[in-house]
Structure 1
Amino acid sequence: MLETVYLANPRGFCAGVKYAISYVEQAFEENSGEPLYVRKEIVHNQRVVEEMKKKGIQFISELSEVPDGATVVFSAHGVSPEVVKEATDRKMKIGDATCPLVTRVHKKARNIKDSHQIIYIGHRGHDEAIGTMGEAKMFLVESPEDVESLKGKISLDKPLTYLMQTTLSVADTKSIVKKIEDVFPFVEHPQKDDICYATTERQDAVQKMLESVDAMLVIGAENSSNSVRLCQLAKKTRPASFQISKKEDVNPNYIINQGIKTLGITAGASSPQVLVDEIVAEILKHFPDAKVSLYPESREDTMSFKLPKELLKQF
């Protein structure tokens, strides 16, 4: 029977997600009642998206779904230059809610695209990967095996470096970088990797908790890369760890059958605290004697990004 629930800290919303949500909400207010469209999910969390829809904010998959001159905000994951060009050609009013840490990777790509060959460590089809890879020609790798397949494609006569998706697993990325170094010993290592502080800190928090819990519960959407990585990390040490996205997913029988007495809970960077509260309350309905507290070795995430003065620009 479940006895103890520990909450990880930091967990949940990161500075980039807070920035993107605030950006869209403020842009919606400034747009004077005119329709505001957001291209793709602003962040990978259905709860957040649904709350915005209730306010009247509309979500689209592609710019072709809206008329010329419409007001469109790009999501936290960023977009490729082609998308920006389409929006400007169609005289749209544009807002860019891309996480500043993702924007930094885009700038790095633009700065080196002519001087270097670029390997991109990321997940095929992820919105962030699509946007970043649109900045320059890159070779996508998802595993050490993918690096092997680049033999013959990478020239030995031109400098080589790599960029990373910001939400990757720190441990998995190290193994891929090591493989790149082994296969292409002339590779130039960036001064700093691209994995964002929030991803690293949330993974570190989970790693510390694994010695004290029987399993970790990760709260996050299935398409949230950082949430999936958190669950994968936990499962390596605590195989009973699991991931859910809403309170309806709570399965008390699983907790009982797995013999989980001490449960750690964390949340992906796009999961709101209200969702954590609802899931904890649902767990306590089934295990009312369980004690809930912050894990002793925890700290707050105090990072923040300031919104630009001008949110919507007409090109």
Structure 2
Amino acid sequence: MLETIYLANPRGFCAGVKYAISFVETVYAENPEAPLYVRKEIVHNQRVVEDMKKRGIQFIDELSEAPNGATVIFSAHGVSPEVVNEAQSRKMRIGDATCPLVTRVHRKARNIKDSHHIIYIGHKGHDEAIGTMGEANMFLVETEEDVESLKDRIKEDKPLTYLMQTTLSVKDTKSIIKKIEEVFPFVEHPQKDDICYATTERQEAVSSMIESVDAMLVIGSANSSNSVRLLQLAQKTKPASYRITDKQDVNPEHIKTNGIKILGITAGASSPQILVDEIVQELLVHFPEAKVSLYPDSREDTMNFKLPKEKLTQY
């Protein structure tokens, strides 16, 4: 029987997600009558996307789905220069809600694209990876085996370095970087890695509490990379840990079957606090005696990014 629910902190929305959502909401408030399009999911959370759709904000996969001259916002994950060029050729008004930390990685890629070979540590097909890799010719790796396969493809004719998808697991990237060092001893290490502060802090919060709980419940979408990483991290120590999207996914049988008395809860960086509240309330319907509290010694995420004064660029 579930006795205790600990809430991890920090959890949920990160500064980049807040920035992207606020960007869309501000542009919408300033132009409530004009059609507003968002390319891709603004963040990887269906609840956030559906709430925006209810207000009339339209989501598209490609710019071709919006008319010439339309107002389109790029998602938090960023886009490639090819997408920007298409917007320019079609005279669109563009708002760039890319997380500033992702933008930093794009800038690094542009600065070294001619001088270096670049290995990109990321997940094939992820929106952030697609956007970043559009900035330069890069070699994508997801595993140590991928690094090994590059042995005969990267020459020492110019320096080699690497960039990372911001939402990766710190531990996973360490093993891949170690493999890069082994295969390419001439590699130049960046002054600072690209994994965002929020990803690191949320993973550290799970690591700090994992020995005090029987399992972790991760709240986040299946296509949220940082949510998946949180689950993988938790399951290494507590195999009964699991992920759900919303309160409809609450399964008391999983808790009973696995003998979970102390449950830790965290949420991916694109999961709103309202989802956490709803899921906790649903758990209490099934386990009314459970006590809910913040995990001791947790801390708040106080990072924020300011929106630009000029939010739209007319191409």
Name the TM tier (shorter chain).
Answer: over 0.9
Matches within 5 A, 1:245-284: 245-284=245-284
- TM-score normalised by structure 2 residue count: 0.99
| 1:109 partner SS | helix
Gaps of 5+ in 1: none
Q: Report deviation, 1:313.
A: 1.1
For residues 117 and 16 of structure 2, what CA distance do their matches in structure 1 show? 28
Q: Structure 2: which amino acid aligns with 1:169? A: S
Matches within 5 A, 1:189-208: 189-208=189-208
List structure 1 runs of 4+ shifted beyond 2 angstroms.
none
1:91 matched to 2:95? no
| 2:208 partner SS | helix
- How many residue pairs match? The answer is 315
Per-residue CA deviation, residues 151-192 of structure 1 (Å, 9 max, x unaligned), is 110012210000000000000000000000000000000000
For residues 266 and 66 of structure 1, what CA distance do their matches in structure 2 show? 37
For residues 253 and 31 of structure 2, what CA distance do their matches in structure 1 show? 48
Matches within 5 A, 1:135-154: 135-154=135-154
| 1:73 partner SS | strand
For residues 32 and 199 of structure 1, what CA distance do their matches in structure 2 show? 34
Residue of structure 2 equivalent to 1:226:
226
Residue of structure 1 equivalent to 2:129:
129
- TM-score normalised by structure 1 residue count: 0.99
Residue of structure 1 equivalent to 2:103:
103
For residues 177 and 33 of structure 1, what CA distance do their matches in structure 2 show? 49
Q: Report deviation, 1:32.
A: 4.6
For residues 303 and 172 of structure 1, what CA distance do their matches in structure 2 show? 25
Residue of structure 2 equivalent to 1:38:
38
Q: Report deviation, 1:31.
A: 2.3
Structure 1 residues 212 and 111: CA distance shift in structure 2, 3 A: same
For residues 159 and 33 of structure 1, what CA distance do their matches in structure 2 show? 52
| 2:212 partner SS | coil
For residues 71 and 281 of structure 2, what CA distance do their matches in structure 1 show? 39
Q: Report deviation, 1:150.
A: 0.2
| 2:276 partner SS | helix
Q: Structure 2: which amino acid aligns with 1:117? A: H
| 2:118 partner SS | strand
Per-residue CA deviation, residues 60-84 of structure 1 (Å, 9 max, x unaligned), is 0001111100000000000000000
Q: Report deviation, 1:29.
A: 1.6
**Farther off after superposition, 150-159 or 98-107:** 150-159
| 2:211 partner SS | coil
Gaps of 5+ in 2: none
For residues 152 and 96 of structure 1, what CA distance do their matches in structure 2 show? 38
Residue of structure 2 equivalent to 1:215:
215
Q: Structure 1: which amino acid aligns with 2:252? A: P
Residue of structure 1 equivalent to 2:69:
69
For residues 80 and 207 of structure 1, what CA distance do their matches in structure 2 show? 34
Identity %: 80
| 1:210 partner SS | helix
Structure 1 residues 83 and 260: CA distance shift in structure 2, 3 A: same
Per-residue CA deviation, residues 108-144 of structure 1 (Å, 9 max, x unaligned), is 0000000000000000000000000000000000011
For residues 31 and 133 of structure 2, what CA distance do their matches in structure 1 show? 31
